[in-house]
């Protein structure tokens, strides 16, 4: 089944829409937002998928990041899916960092999460096919980025699917979930206790295990981020990339925290990073 339009609004000459569809990956109704700039009326465009963080929906990035202005200038379609399956019959947890709103972009194998929490397959397979069928996308010119938990998802998907995602970046990402509390809690619940089964969903472990990208990975991190030392640990990923010869730039910004003012400050630079790489496709 295709997309159902929830709303569409004129925005910076293009159209900002919110849509829903019945997902085969999650077995639930999923929502997403899509911005198509004016250039999409006459030509196929490169696109970037943005993955949001813990407790977010497709709306947070859409209304807070100010991405549409930059996407309109650069001629980029920007897609922001929800962060997890949702619904009364979908497993959940009272905590903000597990369950609905906290899918961690993995395919869960453990009860009660396994039936619906298949966000890796959703983003890697179902979502690209869905948007390509509906919107004017240039084949082969798809990037992926994200913030926090979504930054983790973008790095993992970018490393595991380099043929599908032609550019990757992340803002304040969880780079080594197997080594930090947010990740160990989620992975224990979704994937079980065997830590070897966690490695395909850990960006630092993926680099250690031989996964590479031919292009530069960009990461930006605020130095006033309260989650930096306990949950994010960008130095672990940078060190793994240095040992492996994987090109990465980690930009640190004094005074910036974890919130969407930080995202809004850097979103233009990230979209430009993607536009430059996708222009080669």
Name residue 7's beta-bridge partners.
18
Q: What does the alpha-carbon distance between residue 222 and residue 228 come to, in Å, rounded to a whole number?
A: 8
Helix (H) or strand (E) holding 141: strand 137-147
Question: Which residues, in sequence order, are CB contacts of 71 under 8 Å at separation 6+?
Answer: 12, 14, 35, 37, 48, 77, 78, 271
CA–CA separation, 160 and 152 (whole Å):
12
Longest dimension (CA), the chain: 51
SS3 12: coil
Q: Is 223 helix (H, G, I), strand (E, B) or coil?
A: coil
| Cross-strand partners of 70 | none
**CA 172, 14, 19: angle at the middle one, nearest 5?**
70
What would the two tokens of residue 87 be?
A: 């619904």
**At 233, is the secondary structure helix, strand, or coil?**
coil
Query: How is residue 106 written in tokens?
Result: 């993995």
Give yes or no for a contact between 71 and 46, defined as CB atoms under 8 angstroms apart.
Answer: no
What amino acid positions are annotated as catalytic residues? 148, 225, 258
């Amino acid at each position: 089944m295709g997309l159902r339009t929830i709303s569409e609004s004129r925005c910076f000459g293009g159209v900002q829409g919110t849509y829903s569809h019945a997902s085969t990956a999650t077995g639930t109704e999923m929502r997403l937002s899509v911005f198509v700039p004016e250039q999409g009326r006459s030509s196929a465009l490169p696109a970037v998928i943005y993955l949001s963080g813990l407790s977010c929906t497709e709306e947070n990035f859409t209304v807070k990041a100010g991405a549409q202005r930059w996407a309109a200038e650069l001629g980029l379609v920007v897609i922001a899916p929800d962060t997890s399956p949702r619904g009364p019959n979908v497993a959940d947890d009272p905590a903000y960092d597990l369950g609905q709103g906290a899918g961690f972009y993995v395919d869960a194998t453990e009860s009660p999460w396994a039936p619906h929490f298949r966000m890796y397959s959703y983003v890697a397979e179902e979502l690209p096919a869905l948007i390509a069928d509906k919107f004017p996308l240039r084949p082969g010119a798809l990037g992926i980025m994200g913030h926090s938990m979504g930054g983790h998802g973008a790095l993992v998907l970018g490393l595991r699917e380099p043929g599908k995602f032609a550019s990757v970046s992340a803002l304040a990402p969880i780079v080594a979930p197997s080594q930090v509390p947010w990740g160990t809690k989620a992975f224990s619940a979704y994937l079980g206790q065997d830590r070897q089964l966690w490695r395909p969903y850990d960006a630092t472990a993926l680099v250690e295990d031989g996964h590479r990208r031919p292009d530069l990975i960009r990461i930006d991190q605020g130095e006033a981020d309260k989650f930096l030392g306990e949950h994010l640990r960008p130095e672990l990923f940078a060190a793994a990339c240095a040992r492996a010869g994987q090109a990465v730039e980690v930009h640190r910004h004094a005074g910036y925290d974890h919130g969407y003012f930080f995202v809004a400050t850097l979103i233009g630079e990230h979209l430009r990073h993607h536009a430059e790489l996708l222009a080669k496709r």
